[in-house]
Amino acid sequence: NETVSKNFIEQIIDKDIEEGHCQKVVTRFPPEPNGYLHIGHAKSILLNYGLAKEYNGQFNMRFDDTNPTKEKVEFVDSIKKDVEWLGAKWNGDVLFASNYFPQMYEAAIRLIKKGKAYVDDLSAEEIRQYRGTLTEPGKESPYRERSVEENLKLFEEMKEGKYADGEKVLRAKIDMASPNINMRDPIIYRVAHMTHHRTGDEWCIYPMYDFAHPIEDAVEGITHSICTLEFEDHRPLYDWVIIETGYKTSPEENPKQIEFAKLYLTNVVTGKRYIKKLVEDGVVDGWDDPRLVSIAALRRRGFTPESIKMFVDLVGVTKAQGSVEYPMLEYCIREDLKLKVKRMMAILDPVKLVIDNYPEDQVEYMDVANNQENPEMGTRKVPFTKELYIEREDFMEEPPKKYFRMFPGNEVRLMNAYYVTCTGVDKDENGNITCIHCTYDPETKGGNFTGRKVKGTIHWVSASRGINAEVRLYDNIVDEEKGVYNEDGSMNINPNSLTILKNCVLEPELANARPEDRFQFVRNGYFCVDNKDSKGNVLVFNRIVSLKSSFKL
């Protein structure tokens, strides 16, 4: 039965369609352009876009820019880029709530004329006191009974700039005794002599969120206005505004507000002011630092839109608040990249290996599968030479039991190449190994020789043909033992969240890698070319995730 697997929002939509409240589903993503988007916003974007697509409807991209204090064009641009990158295609042009300031103003006039709104002279502090508490009803303002004519005149004067910020507000006239505090004559317009990033100085009165948002939805013909749980108590006000301003006649009609639980990740920093502090303190190199979970950071780290979609789908849509572990996101990127990216050889901590019996100037090109699990990705040629680099940890002079990699006298497989037997090492005056020596068996070419068994297989890169790169390895920026935040508002930062490896050696083919290209580096994980610091012939790779998983479905 299909309806069983539908989430609660789909069930509401189905019912609305059945009851004739909606012909075409119209959803929107309505960010305030006051910051960068993070993984939580991705859930909202993909949810709204996904529903529109599923129901052959329409998805609007609308900036909720009704509060000029914190809004900036810079954020408009970054948000658009992130939504596009996630693959959520919006209908037509990008929309701005500020375009509807005239409709909002007209709607306020209609309320005044119906006796449903009044200009109040109380101060913000007095209004707060008069509003009452959960256990105590509110008190009516002495200005509540002003005549329609007086209210129209005063509101007009507010608009004309006659009053200073905070001197007067317009309030909805609902019910000061309502058990829902949001319904106790909420402020719907305030005076604010501020320059708006789009409308400039055209307006000096600005609508409050609870008044503006329903009108934005109504003007655009949004049918399902999906928001997060903290707005549940605002829903009666949402319906009140739309009904009283004449855009619908009952709560059953659309637009309709539906709330779902926010997406939270365990042990990550998402709060704007906390990220700001990390940037200011130089702990991270910007809002897109690969250790953060802004969309820009996830993109820079190497996550794909598909992996984020998979993650959001796995989490699901519910009304139950919970927190999801970061390893689940890592699981999704591994799943997504497994069959998609080339598996390359890259040495992160190089030590030289010399094959003493290999011809001095010979170069052989080994045929290597680009992805053993996906033969469609074809093969490539990888140069093999007398001098190679291998990982320092793939050699031990005195190995413990069960160490099957290189040690004196042991034979191992050089991946896709030859069997080699370690014959000894060179050391510097401090006893550090500078070079490992071995001999190879020409019979074993290709690495799948069956004449005798070897237990260890290690990867390698030609010393003369390999290219240099910087590789960055990441750990959680948060000290997971202690949790993110302390009671005093400080954070528990892991001092070792970034490891920079400057002398890595990669297969020559990686010289062609472009920013945001992704690869598996065999045995080391999945990597992505950094889109900020990788330029020209300076290659910088970020480790997206290691190969091993602690998360199981």
Binding residues: 32-34, 38-44, 64, 209, 228
Closest CB to ligand ATP among residues 35, 525: 35
CB of 275 to ligand ATP, least distance (A): 12
Q: Binding residues for Mg ion, per CB under 5 A?
A: 32, 35
Find which of ligand ATP, Mg ion, none residue 44 binds, CB within 5 to 8 Å per kind.
Answer: ligand ATP
CB of 71 to ligand ATP, least distance (A): 10
Determine the interface stretch with ligand ATP among 24-32, 364-372, 514-522, 542-550 (rule: CB under 6 A): 24-32
- Which of 22, 158, 170, 227 is close enough to bind ligand ATP by CB under 6 A? 227
Q: What angle do CA 34, 104, 250 make, to 5 degrees?
A: 105
CB of 232 to ligand ATP, least distance (A): 12
In whole angstroms, give the CA distance from residue 219 to residue 499: 51
Nearest Cα to 285, choosing from 80, 532, 85? 532
Determine the interface stretch with ligand ATP among 39-47, 55-63, 232-240, 388-396 (rule: CB under 6 A): 39-47
In whole angstroms, give the CA distance from residue 221 to residue 94: 15
Closest CB to Mg ion among residues 10, 32: 32
| CA 404 centroid distance within chain | 41
35 binds ligand ATP (CB under 6 A): yes
52 binds ligand ATP (CB under 6 A): no
CA dist list (Å): 543 to 147, 501, 520 = 67, 11, 9
CB of 240 to Mg ion, least distance (A): 20
Exposed/middle/buried for residue 518 (C-beta within 10 Å: 0-12, 13-18, 19+): buried
Check if the beta carbon of residue 544 is closer than 8 Å to that of residue 517. no
Residues, the chain = 553
277 binds ligand ATP (CB under 6 A): no
Determine the interface stretch with ligand ATP among 35-43, 132-140, 330-338, 441-449 (rule: CB under 6 A): 35-43
CB of 208 to ligand ATP, least distance (A): 13
Q: Give me the phi and psi of 201, to 5 degrees please.
A: -105, 20
Closest CB to Mg ion among residues 32, 285: 32
In whole angstroms, give the CA distance from residue 339 to residue 322: 31
In whole angstroms, give the CA distance from residue 472 to residue 436: 26
What's the order of all strands across the beta sheet hosting 169-172?
117-120, 169-172, 187-191, 205-207
x/- string (CB under 6 A) for ligand ATP, residues 58-77?
A: ------x-------------
Q: Which amino acid is at 96?
A: F
10 binds ligand ATP (CB under 6 A): no
CB of 368 to ligand ATP, least distance (A): 43
Find which of ligand ATP, Mg ion, none residue 239 binds, CB within 5 to 8 Å per kind.
Answer: none
x/- string (CB under 6 A) for ligand ATP, residues 384-403?
A: --------------------
- Which of 44, 78, 385, 534 is close enough to bind ligand ATP by CB under 6 A? 44
Nearest Cα to 9, choosing from 23, 27, 24, 30? 27
- Which of 204, 218, 263, 347 is close enough to bind ligand ATP by CB under 6 A? 263
Per CB under 6 A, which of residues 180..199 are in contact with ligand ATP? none
CB of 208 to Mg ion, least distance (A): 12
**518: number of CA atoms within 13 Å, CB side?**
21
Q: Give me the phi and psi of 310, to 5 degrees please.
A: -60, -45
Q: How many CB atoms lie within 10 A of CB 463?
A: 17
266 binds ligand ATP (CB under 6 A): no
CB of 37 to ligand ATP, least distance (A): 8
Total residues contacting ligand ATP (rule CB under 6 A)?
14
Positions at the binding site for L-glutamine: 64, 209
Closest CB to ligand ATP among residues 40, 87: 40
Check if the beta carbon of residue 410 is closer than 8 Å to that of residue 458. no
355: Cβ contacts below 8 Å, ≥ 6 apart: 386, 387, 388, 418, 420, 438, 439, 440
What 3 state SS string does 504-541 have? EEECHHHHHCCCCCEEEECCCEEEEECCCCCECCECEE
CB of 37 to Mg ion, least distance (A): 7
Find which of ligand ATP, Mg ion, none residue 234 binds, CB within 5 to 8 Å per kind.
Answer: none
| Residues in contact with ligand ATP by the rule CB under 6 A | 30-32, 34-35, 40-41, 43-44, 64, 227-228, 262-263
